């Protein structure tokens, strides 16, 4: 599915004319101006899966944030802005093929980190409550409780429950499900599964963070299937060779000047992995 067909960034001449007209040359920073134009990155023609590849500082996250701002999709994490940010966004142009659905969103590594941090805080609260329940279990089970009035009925039920169950079963029944059953990587992977629905445009900023190679491959398959069968479109920034190898993905190499479309096997990061494992091939 294609929702966003084309995105056009301001070129170097447009940026120059803007500053000359506005006479704003006294500023030290013009972000996001001069980030993408310095490598001639002026246009993206999208496929169901489009990937932005490049080193740190190449402008991948800048491009994704500008796209998300221009099309107005849901986001959670804050991101870098400047006095010129909205001016830059206004100068961008888009071509929409299908109406962008309300469930569309941008997901950043900060979103995933905040999600895992919330789980950690929840688990810490569960731990504290568990310790109190351990003590309560022992107090209740071995107490010499006698019901004297109807007001003692709830306490009687608790005593009977404690005496009929093991300590672990008693505590488990009193607690909510413990989400620690999932590791950080598993939690991060579940976050993407929960947030990505059918028929939506999803912008993913380095989704491989916190994911093991195995989980990255599972995410790759999930994205491929969502694009092929569930009417989703993806715009992704990544260094991951597993995500870069996605079937049918169109890859823009932001390390090139000007920016160029590449096969995943031509990318420097992938070649580095290949050469490393090739060097130690005899040890496998």
Is 42 in the same domain as 156? no
Is 167 in the same domain as 56? no
Q: Is the dihedral of CA 116, 122, 127, 130 positive or negative?
A: negative
CB 240 within 8 A of CB 216: yes
Neighbours of 233 (CB within 10 A): 25
Among residues 174, 226, 233, 235, the alpha carbon closest in space to that of 205 is found at: 235
SS3 248: coil
CB 267 within 8 A of CB 277: no
Q: Which tokens in the block code for residue 166?
A: 């093991």
Is 94 in the same domain as 106? yes
pLDDT digits (tens, 9 = 90+) for 187-244: 788 888 888 999 999 999 999 988 889 999 999 999 999 999 999 999 999 999 999 9
CATH number at residue 23: 3.40.50
Prediction pTM value: 0.77
Is 192 in the same domain as 279? yes
Tally the C-alpha atoms within 13 A of residue 45's C-alpha that lie toward its C-beta.
2
Q: H or E stretch including 201?
A: strand 201-205
Is 268 in the same domain as 216? yes
Is 194 in the same domain as 276? yes
Q: Which domain holds residue 29?
A: 4-110+184-283
- Which residue stretches of the chain have pLDDT < 50? 126, 176-181
pLDDT of residue 151: 57
pLDDT of residue 254: 95
Q: Which tokens in the block code for residue 168?
A: 């672990």
pLDDT of residue 110: 82
Q: What is the spatial distance between Cα 180 and Cα 78, in angstroms, rounded to a whole number? A: 27
Q: How far is CA 30 from CA 34, 60, 84, 85, 180, in A?
A: 7, 17, 6, 8, 44
Give the chain's domain count: 2
Q: What are the two backbone dihedrals, phi and then psi, of residue 235, each rounded to the nearest 5 degrees?
A: -125, 120
Is 157 in the same domain as 76? no
Q: What is the DSSP string of 44-66?
A: EE--SEEEEE--TTSSHHHHHHH
Q: What is the spatial distance between Cα 115 and Cα 89, in angstroms, rounded to a whole number? A: 29
End position of a domain, from candidates 181, 211, 233: 181
Is 98 in the same domain as 204? yes
Is 89 in the same domain as 121? no
Is 105 in the same domain as 206? yes
Is 133 in the same domain as 272? no
End position of a domain, from candidates 156, 181, 206: 181
Is 42 in the same domain as 127? no
End position of a domain, from candidates 159, 181, 203: 181
């Amino acid at each position: 599915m294609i929702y966003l067909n084309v995105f056009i960034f301001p070129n170097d001449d447009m940026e120059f004319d803007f500053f000359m007209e506005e006479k704003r040359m006294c500023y030290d920073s013009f972000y996001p101006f001069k980030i993408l134009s310095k490598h001639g990155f002026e246009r993206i023609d999208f496929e169901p899966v489009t990937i932005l590849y490049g080193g740190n500082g190449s402008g991948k996250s800048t491009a994704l944030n500008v796209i998300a701002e221009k099309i107005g999709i849901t986001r959670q994490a804050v991101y870098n802005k400047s006095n010129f940010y909205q001016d830059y966004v206004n100068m961008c142009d888009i071509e929409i093929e299908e109406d962008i659905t309300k469930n569309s969103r941008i997901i950043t590594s900060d979103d995933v980190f905040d999600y895992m941090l919330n789980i950690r805080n929840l688990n810490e609260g569960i731990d504290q409550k568990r310790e109190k329940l351990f003590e309560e279990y022992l107090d209740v089970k071995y107490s010499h409780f006698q019901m004297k009035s109807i007001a003692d009925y709830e306490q009687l039920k608790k005593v009977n429950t404690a005496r009929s169950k093991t300590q672990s079963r008693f505590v488990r029944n009193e607690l909510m499900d413990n989400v620690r059953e999932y590791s950080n990587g598993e939690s991060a992977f579940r976050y993407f599964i929960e947030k990505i629905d059918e028929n939506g445009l999803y912008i993913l900023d380095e989704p491989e963070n916190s994911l093991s190679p195995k989980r990255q491959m599972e995410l790759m398959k999930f994205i491929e299937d969502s694009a092929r069968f569930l009417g989703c479109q993806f715009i992704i920034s990544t260094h991951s060779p597993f995500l870069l190898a996605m079937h049918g993905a169109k890859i823009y190499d932001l390390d090139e000047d000007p920016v160029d479309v590449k096969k995943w096997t031509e990318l420097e990061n992938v070649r580095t992995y290949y050469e490393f494992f090739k060097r130690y091939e005899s040890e496998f």
